[in-house]
Chains A and B, each alone.
Chain A
Amino acid sequence: MVGKMTEKIGHIAKDLFKKGFWKLGLFFAFIGPGIITSNVDNDAGGITTYSLAGAQYGLSLIWILIPITVALIIIQEMCARMGVVSGKGLSDLIRERFGAKITFYLMIILLLANLGNTLCEFAGIAASMEIFGVSKYISVPTGAFFVWWLVVKGNYKSVEKAFLLACVFYLSYVISGFLVNPNWSEIKTAAITPNLQFDSGMLTMAIGIIGTTIAPWMQFYLQSSIVDKGLKAESYKYARMDVIFGSITVNVVAFFIIMLCAVTLFQNGLKIETAKDAALALAPLAGSYASLLFAFGLLNASLFAASILPLSTAYTICEAFGWEASLNTKFIEAPQFYGLYSLMIFLGAGIILLPNVPLIAIMYYSQVINGILLPFVLIFMLLLINDKRIMGNFVNSRLMNIVSWATVVILNGLSVAMVVSAFF
């Protein structure tokens, strides 16, 4: 499957070169949703998890990014296909196919999970700005206002441009990766050598990496934004490229974060607990540029996700209940949409500013809720994508079904394992 994918990507790349640059321009006109969705994966929680993985286990978990990339592509591709073919968001389809009851509870759980995640993003803003010496009482309200203003005052095009710009800033991690001058051949070996000891800490970390990369909200967001962008079945191949490209870049960034922490913190035996610790610990080992770039990357990721997560929640819930939801509307035309968006930001930023917030517990439980939610979302997706009435000729092929069911079974097994371990 991996071989086939890389072959396909190679093919696409060749195609692009052959047909000249206008074709490339066309590609850039259709990209956005996939790249944005994938990159938001590397949010504050993601960066923390990758830093911890690198700092605690060195390069030994880095191989896991390759199967994650494949799984991400398989799942996101199905979302993109459903969005393009049906013209409806995922929660839209779930409501119409599975009824009000299931949808209602699903939305409540999703709202809680996303609120927990949003909180983590604002914590990320606070932490990264503290590295630059800015108090959270300034950075969090400013950040909250900025992301609110961006979406409420913008339209799809302007918001997408801002988000794509944020994606570019992830390069800061790649640059810091090169700044530390790592031993590339050692990294290459580690990346292609699967290595998993059955010690509970390492297993939990592996599940954590997968959980933070493949989250329930992403499937909803990707499909909604494809619908909002107005992509049609004819442009489906560009949407697919967008998804593949996005899934690869996100894991490249993850790769550099793990690698960076592995060759510096792990090799010097430094223990860290948060992404902020990682950024601070990097300064003496990798130079202050690497440290500041790391902190800047964290700020960018947190801001970016603090906007996308509430946006995703608003899209998803409005679709489920049939309210108008589009970035191309005014506040007054879609009051529930913008209301939910504003509320999520207000709550997310507000709770962080309260004294003595049990942040670690909130992060932990939002991960658990995500773990509970993911199996349902993935199974609904598979049922929907095989529904002829919705997908017509675009239903999964037999091969795709085998691959996707296998992926979903593995992911669900891991989610269940995580939820069970959380309770015992």
Chain B
Amino acid sequence: MAINHEPQVFLFLSRILGKKIVGAEGKVLGRVYDLTAEFVEPYPVVTGLVFSSAQKRNPVFLPWKDVVDLARDVSVAINSTRELSTLNLRQGELLLREDLLDKQVVDTDGAKIRRVNDLQFLKTSHGLHLVHVDVGFRGLIRRVGLIKPFDAILQSLFDYKLPNQLISWKFVQPLHSLDLLRLNITQNRLGQIHPADLADILEDLDIRQRGAVFKALDVETAAETLEETDPKIQVSLINDLNTAEASDIIEEMSLSEAADLLGDLPKAKAEGILKEMEKEIADDVKELLTHPEREAGGMMTTSYLSFRPSTTVGEALEKFRQEAEDIDLVYYVYVTDEEDLLLGVISLRDLILADADKRLEEIMDDRVISVKLDDKDDTIAEHFAKYAVTAIPVVDENDRMQGTILFRNLLDVVAPHLGK
């Protein structure tokens, strides 16, 4: 049986229900009727399965730890159902088929949206996590058992594959008494939320599973997920992708994160990726890459806003609104002259509270704390601690502004060395 399956990381409840349960000696014990799950944060964990056996009248409960494999049949570690007890739900446990499947999904306003057509699990070495609720037409067709002919027809006629419509479990609250699931977002925001943000458990997965999950994400989500994960895992994930895929994802990351990641990659791979990236972003990243990681230059981001002293508050806020979405640092804006000489700093709060027709030089704080490009991490940490700021600008030997260090960026560099 040493067939090398693609690692099945995502599983649907409808595919598990009805599967044969095969004992350790190859005897069929029954068929899966239902699964139980414990509702823990962030994703419920499957605790066992329920099936009816020939030997007992009532359905019996099999703890999930006795389940060996799910690939084809459900193989289990026991031989007979004799020692199994009947189902006895503990506090915080629910039956997935009985209590969730086919139930109504409503939004915060109580408007009906869909029904739970299926449930999607993520399989990890720790077990099965309930991660998504399937509310789409594809899920319905899968339940009906027509997904293969349906896909074949769509594929041959329109070259189209109907996508799954999944809602992350994070947005779902089961209301057991009312027989329905309530989303904690409104219906018109449903299109905006991203179903697959799994950074929470990505780190718990083994390498093969992690790669499979990561490839299933779209570019934006993958970038967000990547920013949240450990640098070592980042490297292994990016290494698995080809340069084109990798560059698409890295372009979506913040500049400093991107630079850090590229700095950790093997040189050939990093250069390949940089070539594939948009030139503008690639240049910024390269600039950051020239500095050692544990010096100010290596930690800083070049993604901040700076204005001339004569700019009015109104103009600055206008520009801020247009650009803030793509900017790493939003809590401060800097005031520089035409030579990029750093003149002052203004916090977002002061900017918002100031009269719109005032000029920035009138409200800026000219006692700016800054660090030099080659200042080390311990110096920078001291500055952060002493002045209680959330970002510190970086200047070169001529006091020209080069970038700014977010506290978060410092932490990324320093944290791995703490406690050593």
Q: What separation, in Å, do the CA atoms of A325 and B145 have in the docked complex? A: 26
In order of increasing CB-CB distance, the 5 nearest A-B pairs are: A322-B115, A100-B143, A324-B112, A104-B144, A322-B114
Task: Tell me if B140 is interfacial: C-beta within 8 Å of chain A.
Answer: yes
Task: Tell me if A99 is interfacial: C-beta within 8 Å of chain B.
Answer: yes
Select which of B112, B143, B144, B145 is within 8 A of A322 by beta carbon: B112
Q: Is the CB of A321 within 8 A of B114?
A: yes
Residues from chain A with Cβ under 8 Å of B111 in the complex: 324, 333
Least CB distance from A15 to B in Å reads 35
Least CB distance from A150 to B in Å reads 23
Q: Which residues of B contact A (CB under 8 A)?
A: 101-105, 111-115, 117, 135, 140, 143-145, 179
Binary flags per residue of A87-104, CB closer than 8 Å to B gives 1, else 0: 000001001100111001
Q: Is the CB of A325 within 8 A of B112?
A: yes
Known: A99-B143, A100-B140, A100-B143; 13 extra A-B contacts, CB below 8 A, are A96-B103, A96-B179, A99-B101, A104-B144, A318-B112, A321-B114, A321-B115, A322-B104, A322-B112, A322-B114, A323-B112, A323-B113, A323-B114
Residues from chain B with Cβ under 8 Å of A321 in the complex: 114-115, 140
Residues from chain A with Cβ under 8 Å of B102 in the complex: 95-96, 99-100
Q: Is the CB of A100 within 8 A of B114?
A: no
**Residue in A closest to B109 when the chains form the complex, CB atoms:** A333
Residues from chain A with Cβ under 8 Å of B113 in the complex: 322-324
Select which of A92, A101, A323, A325 is within 8 A of B143 by beta carbon: A101
Q: Is the CB of B140 within 8 A of A95?
A: no
Residues from chain A with Cβ under 8 Å of B179 in the complex: 96
Residues from chain B with Cβ under 8 Å of A324 in the complex: 111-113
Q: Is the CB of B144 within 8 A of A101?
A: yes
Residues from chain B with Cβ under 8 Å of A92 in the complex: 104
Q: Is the CB of B145 within 8 A of A101?
A: yes
**Residue in B closest to A325 when the chains form the complex, CB atoms:** B112
**Residue in B closest to A108 when the chains form the complex, CB atoms:** B144
Residues from chain A with Cβ under 8 Å of B105 in the complex: 322
Most A CB contacts (10 A, CB to CB) among B101, B103, B135, B140 go to B140
Select which of A96, A100, A323 is within 8 A of B117 by beta carbon: A100
Most A CB contacts (10 A, CB to CB) among B101, B102, B111, B179 go to B102
Q: What separation, in Å, do the CA atoms of A324 and B106 have in the docked complex? A: 9
**Residue in B closest to A96 when the chains form the complex, CB atoms:** B102
Residues from chain A with Cβ under 8 Å of B112 in the complex: 318, 322-325
Residues from chain B with Cβ under 8 Å of A323 in the complex: 112-114
Q: Is the CB of B103 within 8 A of A100?
A: no
**Residue in A closest to B114 when the chains form the complex, CB atoms:** A322
Q: What separation, in Å, do the CA atoms of A333 and B113 have in the docked complex? A: 10
Q: What separation, in Å, do the CA atoms of A369 and B145 have in the docked complex? A: 23
